[in-house]
A and B are shown apart, each in its own frame.
Chain A
Amino acid sequence: DQQVKQNSPSLSVQEGRISILNCDYTNSMFDYFLWYKKYPAEGPTFLISISSIKDKNEDGRFTVFLNKSAKHLSLHIVPSQPGDSAVYFCAARTSYDKVIFGPGTSLSVIP
């Protein structure tokens, strides 16, 4: 039973364009959502987060949107750069600090 879903295993975007990575969740008790980026042979690196009481958080080229009624969040990267090519994990935290990760979306930014 996947509580955090990322239905697109991969995504290709042209350099300079917007990348949109999507994530859906099923548990309405999640209170905090995070995005992590992972390069091969490295651990996940924290990217950006959003509290369940907000609907948008922005940090430079990265913006996360949260739609609680749809149980959906998305990560926007604009403009996309080749160095953004990595696997992106959506994650959600329960009140007991346990973080549930989605399966990841592999982003390729084409120069």
Chain B
Amino acid sequence: DTGVSQDPRHKITKRGQNVTFRCDPISEHNRLYWYRQTLGQGPEFLTYFQNEAQLEKSRLLSDRFSAERPKGSFSTLEIQRTEQGDSAMYLCASSGEAADTQYFGPGTRLTVL
């Protein structure tokens, strides 16, 4: 069990550029979640996959955001035309069938200049 991994750990980009983050969940977990965390706040739910199906999306997820989990394993989160307000820590978590506990990755810190 290698835990949840995320890549990259840090990303600095210019406003207007597109960025893509990757999350590899714990191998036997079928549920995968994306969260965003800003300074002084707890993680905010963005979206949730069960296997390859995206079951729920937050209103926080604007049209510029898209997430995929094509084979029910790793997931990607893409942000198009980044804005300074997108600067945050993007966290991925996974859980098993019982869905009782979500285990988090180390996060990707995005800075939009």
A: residues with CB less than 8 A from B are: 4, 9, 32, 34, 36, 41-46, 49, 89, 91, 96-104
Contacts and interface: CB of A to CB of B under 8 A. Distances in A.
Given A89-B43, A99-B45, A101-B44, A44 B104 contact: yes
B45 A100 contact: yes
Given A49-B101, A98-B56, A99-B102, A43 B91 contact: yes
Interface of B: 4, 6, 31, 33, 35, 40-45, 48, 55-56, 91, 93, 95, 99-107, 109
- Where chain B touches its partner, the secondary structure class is strand
The 9 closest A-B pairs by CB, nearest first: A101-B42, A43-B104, A97-B99, A44-B104, A43-B106, A43-B107, A101-B43, A89-B42, A43-B105
Given A32-B100, A44-B91, A98-B56, A104 B42 contact: yes
Given A97-B31, A97-B48, A46 B101 contact: yes
Contacts of B95: 97
A102 B31 CA distance: 22
Contacts of B44: 101
Contacts of B35: 101
